[in-house]
Structure 1
Amino acid sequence: MASTQGAPRVAGVMAAVARTLTGPRRLWIAVTLATIVLVSLTPEALPAWAWKYPAAWQVPVARWISDFMKWLMGQASFGLFTVRDLTRAIASLLDLPLTLAKMLFSTGVLQGEGSAAVQLFPPIPWFSMVIAAAALSYAVGGPRLAIGMAVGLLYLAAFGQWTSAMSTFASVLVSSLLGAGGGLLIGLACVRHKALERLVSPLLDLAQTMPVFAYLLPMLILFGFGPVSAMIATVIYAVPPMVRVTIVAIRAVPEEIHALGRMTGCTRHQITWKMLVPSAMPALMVGVNQVIMLSLNVVIIASMIGAGGLGWDVLAALRRLDIGAGLEAGLAITVLAILLDRFAQALAHRARSPRRGERELRRLRLGLWLALAVAGGLWLAAASAPQIAPYPQAWRLSTAPFWSELVSWINLNFHDPLEAVKTLILLNVLAPVKRFMLALPWPWVVAVVTLAGFRLGGFRLALTVGIMCAFMAAVGLWQATMITVYLCGVAVVISVLIGVPVGIACAERPRLRAVVEAVIDTLQTLPAFVYLIPIVMLFRVGDFTALVAIVLYAIAPAIRYTAHGVAQVSPQLIEAGVMSGCTRRQILTRIRLPLALPDMLLGLNQTILLALSMLVITALVGTRDLGQVTYAALSKADVGLGIVAGLCVAFIGMIADRLIGAAAEKIQTRKGLA
């Protein structure tokens, strides 16, 4: 009875609010007031199905996916061979370049398997690798890059990370080549066929926003446990930027080049590979760089299914809560990422720069071949005298005891203040926001998201985001979705509150910007798992630990895009403001920030995506969100549940991306910047 009487009363309140508030801005005031009213209602005021999506209405997508995978791997066939035979053959084929790369850089030529394997020929020793890499870097980027490459590789050897780093390098090298080559081919096909681009675009969005955890189980089922499955998951995660960059770069090639190719009688194949691709090479190298960085970003997750290398070292340290070992392995990944990033940037710069003279090229080639010959000779010497191959134990360094003692000292001396801060934020921020999100009726959330889509982008956007939002309720994961939105939302707000002022300060102070850029570059290249080790040791597991890790990982775009947007405002507009008597604060609030808002919204979008990707990893520290569902599905081998939970995470990111993108476009159109 209470329910039937409460519903008309609520409807009357909503109608009154809607009548008193009209117009776009007032519409959202009305929505906010209505949301507060709904949250304050007792459970009896609305039907039970409005608070909890009925089990009878749920769509068993997870079961359908699991059943399909069982059928695919158990019964599906192509006549002469089954799908399992096909996937295992593909795995064996992809294992060849990976095995060769690991033999070259990490394991050497082995006879036998496991502990019984005997090394017939050693891998490239550290000193040969340093000489060869420095020589190649000098040929590509000059002495500065060569010195940086040598110092970075010596760091890996000196801190005892050489073998694991070379194993990771071999995996990343093969993954990057496959990702860059595959992304280039897909991008060229999309340029040629618009229908294919429309089909591929949402798949690329899914690949970038779906957690890598969700890929692992299908890869295990299809390709078996081992480094090949990890490599395929890495390629899927890393290939979207290459596809997008290829599409943009090829379409940006001037039309005159197309016309020249047609006039000279070139075939379509010749125009593509001898004119368009070389002309777009500087931009394409940016895509290659992104593939390398994303491949390194998932090495720890990939180690869960047999990738090994530095990722496995970090994961093992996290399980032992060994902060010293974890940080050293994580910093080794960061060093490897920086070296590969600088080398890829040098290649891109060389593609843009004019060709060198013939005499200089001959001199460079001669020096490179001499250096490679020396490296090869030393490699043969190490094969003859294996005792000289390892880095000397007496020369090794380690900071692991320092970091472990530092965290122990902080725990002993600052436990009470840290616990007070944690309790304050838990009780006054996290707990209220969590209660608020869980108290929202799911139909109202779907309606508000749909309304936002309609106001920002019209009927098509409203339908897209509305269906995505309703999907999360229909598959029975609404509560986990709301916990995900709550934790991600709080982290994004904190990141913006910190990042925007820091970005504004960086835009006005170049020296500060250089320092902050170095810090956030380190934060972005440091593996996400590494954040968890010291934070868990300081704050133990829970939502607060996850919040701190997410903010540290996701704050970089908020700083970087704000600094870029504010710094890019036209000096003429600033001068006009000064001449009209504006104070420094008025110039900032009325000129710089409004014009930088589209860039800042793009930074907000990237912050949300990074927060979602980190949120899945924080499932290891006790959160109860979609990341935990995905991780639990992996441990239970429930492929359907893992993919559905991953899709929910992806849909949250895609909803944010679509709405923020539409808002940015609207702002640019209104300000005449589109």
Structure 2
Amino acid sequence: MSDATAHGPQPGGFAVPRTGGKVVAYVVLIGITLTLATAIPALDKWPAELVVPFKVWVTEFFAWFAAAAKPVTRAISWVLAQPLALAEALLYRGVLAWKWPPLPWVAIVGGTAILGHWIGGTRLAVFSGVCALYLAVFRLWPDAMQTLAIVVVTVPLAAILGLAIGIWATRSPRVEKGVNLVFDVLQATPHMAYLGPVVILFGFGQVPAMLATLGFATPPMARCTILGIRTVPAEILEAGRMSGCTPRQLLWKVELPAAQQTLLLGLNQAVMQTLAMAVIASLVGASGLGQKLLFSLQQLQIGKAVEQGIAITLIAIVLDRMTQAFMRRIPPRFAEGTPFHVRHRHLLIFLVLLVVSVIAAQIIPALAVLPKDLTLSFGSPINDGVRWVSKNLYGYVRPFRDWVTIWLLLPMRDFYLWMPWPMVIGLLSLTGYYLGGWRLALLPACLLGFLLLAGFWTPLMLTIYLVTGCTVLAILIGVPVGVWASKSTRAARVINTICDTLQTFPSFIYL
């Protein structure tokens, strides 16, 4: 009996050899590619004269497309700018033409606490209010409101668009297949890659940032919509049909309510992705905390960067906790005839607070914007601490840094750059074949071949080297920590809290 037969056919209809046969195949492939690369220089380093000018073609195409689509892109920008301008006017800009000030910080802080109490009770109310108060006390209010303006406009748009796409996909298998393919590409695309096409078509500023954020936040909502509708129990659907529901009634009164928890999970993901992308979009001119954080990092103002990073983190945690609490919330039931002020007491309290704070802010300016002498900052102590650490601990940190760089990072980088391109493509394609057959083998071959022809092989190898190194370190750290947490309830509680917090951070914060 052959190795392939003994191992058995795989789901894809192909037979995979045993481990010994795989090792032999890898060794033979490495030997052949090294021999050919030694004999033929073009198989070692791709010649520059053979690079296909994809960059020139893409540049020319986008230049033509941007000019041709200018009326459409300008119309889209104008439409999206209207709700964004309204949000900015309410949160931090005001209506200058009518001399209307923005909402006082007292109203927004109090409203955040009231919303937290309505969703999750006293604990969430206190936490949300304190986090909002941090933004005002540490002189981060205008920047935070600029970031929130993008969030409060983009999240509803992403939710509506994702819900519509998800419903459409569940009604047509072809549409679902195409949507899943597009979303696979979008969700595998790094954050930064969203910014390129948006800048080319829409330029710089708040609206382009919102469009990039919308493209990043829509797929999770759409996927959760598809999942939620697909997993509605057949008994519930049958009960709806037996009740005489039309297809539209079945969707809105049966399927979507039954999928509510999954839809709220999608909303949570859309909120978090929106905030993460809104921060990164500072690279294309989006004002707000992300832009300030980027400037502070560029100027090595570590103290300010820490304050701004904490602000972004607190906003992310509050939004995450609120959406999660909303998923768990059980709406209270009131007896028939219950007065309006009892059923909607949170809304009435907020309206009273809003009116009082707006009037009081005209009399007491500190209730509109905190004066500088009433604000706090720990930027200077942090800067002093960083300077002290750099001066006194650099001698201890430098040997470790140099050891990691010289003995780990540089050898790994040199090894990746040394490997001939046929070896890399062959090894990844062979691995793809063993894991999923010819279709998965062709995927890395085609994608890596394109990067080779485009002249991006060296940047590709540097990227793979960094990804590999980080993955190995993450496994070496994460697996022991996970095993430890699985053996101790107390450790698991602490580690889960830390992991939840770290996974809530927008990626820009880690810089």
Equivalence for 1:671: none
Q: 1:367 to 1:85 in 2, by over 3 A?
A: closer
Partner SS, residue 298 of structure 1: helix
Task: Find the partner of 1:70 among 37, 41, 63.
Answer: 63
Q: Is the 8 A contact 1:132 1:372 kept in 2?
A: no
Equivalence for 2:241: 262
2: CA distance, partners of 1:420 / 1:146: 47
CA deviations 1:496-541 (Å, max 9, x no partner) are 1011101111122222223223333333334434433xxxxxxxxx
1: CA distance, partners of 2:95 / 2:197: 31
2: CA distance, partners of 1:106 / 1:93: 21
Residue type at the aligned position of 1:187: G
Deviation at 1:266? 2.5
Residue type at the aligned position of 1:291: A
Q: Is the 8 A contact 2:37 2:43 kept in 1?
A: no
Equivalence for 1:103: 89
Equivalence for 1:84: 70
Q: 1:136 to 1:380 in 2, by over 3 A?
A: same
Equivalence for 2:210: 231
Partner SS, residue 109 of structure 1: coil
Matched, 1:132 2:111: yes
Task: Find the partner of 2:333 among 339, 348, 356.
Answer: 356
Equivalence for 1:306: 285
Percentage identity across paired residues of the two chains: 38
Q: Is the 8 A contact 1:326 1:530 kept in 2?
A: no
1: CA distance, partners of 2:374 / 2:32: 67
Equivalence for 1:451: 430
Q: Is the 8 A contact 1:165 1:309 kept in 2?
A: yes
Q: 1:523 to 1:409 in 2, by over 3 A?
A: farther
Q: Is the 8 A contact 1:327 1:530 kept in 2?
A: no
CA deviations 1:525-573 (Å, max 9, x no partner) are 34434433xxxxxxxxxxxxxxxxxxxxxxxxxxxxxxxxxxxxxxxxx
Equivalence for 1:495: 474
2: CA distance, partners of 1:243 / 1:384: 47
Q: Is the 8 A contact 1:330 1:527 kept in 2?
A: no
Q: Is the 8 A contact 1:172 1:295 kept in 2?
A: yes
2: CA distance, partners of 1:313 / 1:522: 22
Residue type at the aligned position of 1:136: L
TM-score (norm 1): 0.69
Deviation at 1:44? 6.7
Deviation at 1:338? 0.8
CA deviations 1:327-380 (Å, max 9, x no partner) are 110110000011111111121112xx3653335996251343133222222123
Task: Find the partner of 1:26 among 14, 20, 30.
Answer: 20
Q: 1:305 to 1:99 in 2, by over 3 A?
A: same
Equivalence for 1:413: 392
Q: Is the 8 A contact 2:113 2:128 kept in 1?
A: yes
2: CA distance, partners of 1:466 / 1:36: 16
2: CA distance, partners of 1:327 / 1:421: 25
Partner SS, residue 121 of structure 1: coil
Q: Is the 8 A contact 2:30 2:423 kept in 1?
A: no
Residue type at the aligned position of 2:41: A
Equivalence for 1:559: none
2: CA distance, partners of 1:141 / 1:468: 48
Deviation at 1:31? 5.1
2: CA distance, partners of 1:27 / 1:427: 36
Q: How do residues 605-624 of structure 1 correspond to structure 2 at under 5 angstroms?
A: none
2: CA distance, partners of 1:397 / 1:106: 20
Deviation at 1:101? 0.7
Deviation at 1:181? 1.4
Q: Is the 8 A contact 1:449 1:469 kept in 2?
A: no
Task: Find the partner of 1:482 among 447, 455, 461.
Answer: 461
Equivalence for 1:636: none
Q: How do residues 57-206 of structure 1 correspond to structure 2 at under 5 angstroms?
A: 57-74=50-67, 76=68, 83-111=69-97, 120-206=99-185
Task: Find the partner of 2:46 among 36, 49, 53.
Answer: 53
1: CA distance, partners of 2:199 / 2:305: 26
Q: 1:226 to 1:212 in 2, by over 3 A?
A: same
Q: Is the 8 A contact 2:224 2:262 kept in 1?
A: yes
Matched, 1:523 2:481: no
Q: Is the 8 A contact 2:29 2:427 kept in 1?
A: no
CA deviations 1:451-478 (Å, max 9, x no partner) are 1111111222222233223222122111
Matched, 1:461 2:440: yes
Partner SS, residue 102 of structure 2: coil
Equivalence for 1:558: none
Deviation at 1:270? 2.0
CA deviations 1:70-97 (Å, max 9, x no partner) are 11123x3xxxxxx201110110000111
Residue type at the aligned position of 1:103: A
Residue type at the aligned position of 2:73: T
Deviation at 1:407? 1.6
Residue type at the aligned position of 1:235: L
Q: Is the 8 A contact 2:29 2:426 kept in 1?
A: no
Q: After TM superposition, what 4+ stretches of structure 1 lie above 6 angstroms from structure 2? A: none
Unaligned runs of at least 5 residues, structure 2: 1-15
Partner SS, residue 52 of structure 1: coil
Q: How do residues 34-53 of structure 1 correspond to structure 2 at under 5 angstroms?
A: 45-53=38-46
2: CA distance, partners of 1:372 / 1:500: 51
The CA RMSD over aligned residues, in Å, is 2.3
2: CA distance, partners of 1:36 / 1:443: 9
Deviation at 1:433? 1.1
Q: Is the 8 A contact 1:122 1:383 kept in 2?
A: no
Q: Is the 8 A contact 2:81 2:207 kept in 1?
A: yes
Q: 1:73 to 1:367 in 2, by over 3 A?
A: closer
Q: 1:25 to 1:467 in 2, by over 3 A?
A: same
Q: Is the 8 A contact 2:320 2:504 kept in 1?
A: no
2: CA distance, partners of 1:429 / 1:88: 50
Q: How do residues 358-377 of structure 1 correspond to structure 2 at under 5 angstroms?
A: 358=335, 363-377=342-356
Q: 1:467 to 1:361 in 2, by over 3 A?
A: farther
Unaligned runs of at least 5 residues, structure 1: 1-21, 77-82, 112-118, 533-674
Deviation at 1:438? 1.1
Equivalence for 1:590: none
2: CA distance, partners of 1:60 / 1:360: 72
Task: Find the partner of 1:398 among 372, 377, 398.
Answer: 377
2: CA distance, partners of 1:463 / 1:32: 17
Residue type at the aligned position of 2:18: P
Residue type at the aligned position of 2:91: F
1: CA distance, partners of 2:390 / 2:36: 43
Deviation at 1:399? 1.6
Q: Is the 8 A contact 1:303 1:311 kept in 2?
A: yes
Equivalence for 1:240: 219
1: CA distance, partners of 2:200 / 2:425: 35
